[in-house]
Amino acid sequence: MDVTHVSETEPLGRLRKAGLRPTRQRLALARMLFSQGDRHVTAEQLRDEVAAEGARVSMATIYNTLHHFTRAGLLRHVVVDAGRTYFDTNTGHHHHFYVESEHRLIDIDGDTVRLASVPDAPPGRAIDSIDVIVRLKPDIRA
């Protein structure tokens, strides 16, 4: 395979740049994750998608890979639901709607939520990140 010229947004280039060995499994997962716009996925979803494509990737590898990608800054962890971990391919500044009834996440552009004031971190601690989660329910006024 000719790999002399690889875009940084292609799966291979992305992995290279992140210092991750491009294995068959990682390439498959990177393709699923990064070639269809911003996504919010769970490990289980990914497993099913990958399986549907005919690729064989174990659950352990899916978890390992998601964590590797997250550490490398390719993904971001989203905590909105106990007992379900979402990974977000949008690592930029933004927040989330969470449709509880459908277990579905929707991005909110970072600038749409402006914090007029942010509390100081307690002594000895620093702010790592600020998550804003807007929980949605069905609108009753049907």
Partner DNA sequence: GACATTCATTAGAATTCTTCTAAATTAGCT
Partner DNA sequence: AGCTAATTTAGAAGAATTCTAATGAATGTC
Question: Is the Cβ–Cβ distance between 25 and 61 less than 8 Å?
Answer: yes
Number of neighbours of residue 82 by Cβ within 10 angstroms = 6
- Is 99 among the residues that bind its own copies (CB under 8 A)? yes
Number of residues that bind its own copies (CB under 8 A): 39
Report how far residue 68's alpha carbon sits from residue 74's, in angstroms, rounded to the nearest whole number: 9
| Pick 102 or 120: Cβ nearer DNA | 102
Residue 119 binding target from its own copies, DNA, none, CB below 5 to 8 Å by type: its own copies
43 interacts with its own copies by CB under 8 A: no
Give the one entry of DNA, its own copies, none that residue 21 binds, where binding means its C-beta sits below a cut-off of 5 to 8 angstroms depending on kind: DNA
* Min dist. Cβ of residue 33 to its own copies (A): 19
Sequence letter at residue 115: L
Give, as ranges, the residues between 66 and 95 that touch its own copies (CB under 8 A).
79-85
> For its own copies, which stretch binds (CB under 8 A), given 20-28, 33-41, 57-65, 115-123?
115-123
CA dihedral 27, 16, 67, 84 (to 10 degrees): -50
- DSSP-assigned letters across all residues of 63-101: HHHHHHHHHTTS-EEEEEETTEEEEES--SSEEEEEEGG
Sites of contact with its own copies (CB under 8 A): 79-85, 97, 99-100, 106, 108, 112-119, 121-122, 124-140
